[in-house]
Chains A and B, each alone.
Chain A
Amino acid sequence: MIISIASGKGGTGKTTISVNMALALGAGVELLDCDVEEPNAHLFLKPKIERSEKVEVPIPLVDLDKCTFCKKCSDICRFNALAVVGKQVLVFQELCHSCGGCMAVCPEGAITETGRELGFLNFGARDGIGFINGRLRVGEAMSPPLIKQVRAAANPQRITIIDAPPGTSCPVIAAMSGADFILMVTEPTPFGLHDLKLAVEAVRLLGIPCGLVINRADIGDRKVFDYAEKENLPILLTIPFDRRIAEAYSRGKNIVEEFPEWRQRFTELFRKIEVIITERGGAAHA
């Protein structure tokens, strides 16, 4: 079972929900931090990192001895990563999306693959909770290939909890697609509602069931609640704007550890998700 924790707006509490749900469920779950541009779930879960793996994506390498400068490679490249000028072929590797098109169309077999470093995967665990995060190389602009690698490294036998990046663009889609459930974390503010609507539209395109956690639920106004009702989005948990929770967070402490009554609430949150998935015909994964 894969549960992806997303939000439109940043800073609503995705990581808080992901880590606390993982801790409430305990051994047997695996937490994936897919916010590879600024991973922070490890600061709260505090796993022991056991190993790291470098991740590369393929980019073209042109053999100028075989090249006839026919330009078929640069013509097919939608991202203009190749330029044929005079007797040179320039490769702008940061523009390359690794589709392999240039290699496929080269009539001379002059193009082979080499790698561009995307970043790292870190593997660890804490109290039987598996942990994987991705860390994008500083300066790298493309995060979806690394997010896909984080997901590919997950153990399919375990319950997978994904801490997704904010927004609604390609990185979020990479962290949500193929999930059995999307848990949207929002807050009852105009910004929260605006970005939630965008994120829900994206989830609907993916056809994945979705529910809400409303964080800092007693601030702002009632418009997020009204929207949820109108759109038939179940509100599965509300968390009040509580100074004690904020203080614990600021020290890197987790809600379920500091306030034991919350452990059950997070377990119940998972049970509600499980029921929705079962009613929809069950998880596509273990």
Chain B
Amino acid sequence: MKVAVTSKGPSLDSEIDPRFGRAPYILIVDTDTLLFEVVDNSINVNAFKGAGIQAAAMVSDKGAEVLMTGYCGPKAFATLEAAGIKVVDDITGKVRDAIKTIKEGKVTYAAGANKEAHW
């Protein structure tokens, strides 16, 4: 299974970035092999608006089934929902730890956004 994790750096030992749309990196990790693709999200970091929407569309294009992040706003959540991607929010620690938790099945999927939209 492919899982997208928002990250402050480009490796499995990087800290998770709590922001979804404006995280500097998003790692697309294969939970079986731990092989991963690093997506440079700098385009969205500087977006006027709608960073979460575009990050969600990108995560969908990469074929991820789950997104693990800190906060997810309503527009990003709606986009992920349309793409059939499940969200695990309120995640902290390292990317590697997040992958371990999901492999062990110790996650709860979010039913909605956990952050207000901002203008």
Contacts and interface: CB of A to CB of B under 8 A. Distances in A.
A283 to B, nearest CB: 36
A92 B50 contact: yes
Contacts of B57: 74, 83-85
Given A79-B48, A95-B49, A141-B119, A85 B54 contact: no
A79 B49 contact: yes
A86 interface: yes
Interface stretch (B5-13, B78-86, B94-102, B104-112): B78-86
Contact of A83 (B49, B53, B84, B119): B53
Interface string B60-93: 1000000000000001001100111000000000
B29 interface: no
A86 B48 contact: no
Nearest to B21: A80
Contacts, number: 46
Contacts of A3: none
A86 to B, nearest CB: 6
A45 interface: no
B56 interface: yes
B1 interface: no
Interface string A72-116: 001000111101111010101001000000000000000000000
B51 interface: yes
A80 B78 CA distance: 14
Nearest to B54: A80
B50 A80 contact: yes
A86 B83 contact: yes
Nearest to A89: B82
Given A74-B57, A84-B57, A85-B57, A79 B50 contact: yes
Contacts of B54: 74, 80, 83
A74 B89 CA distance: 26
- Listed residue (B50, B78, B84) with the most chain A CB atoms within 10 angstroms of its CB: B50
Report, nearest first, the 8 A-B pairs whose CB atoms are least far apart: A80-B50, A85-B83, A85-B60, A83-B57, A83-B53, A80-B53, A83-B79, A88-B82
Given A88-B82, A90-B79, 11 more contacts: A74-B57, A79-B49, A80-B50, A83-B53, A83-B82, A85-B57, A85-B82, A86-B84, A90-B78, A92-B50, A95-B75
11 contacts: A74-B54, A74-B57, A80-B51, A83-B53, A83-B54, A83-B56, A83-B79, A85-B57, A85-B79, A88-B82, A92-B50
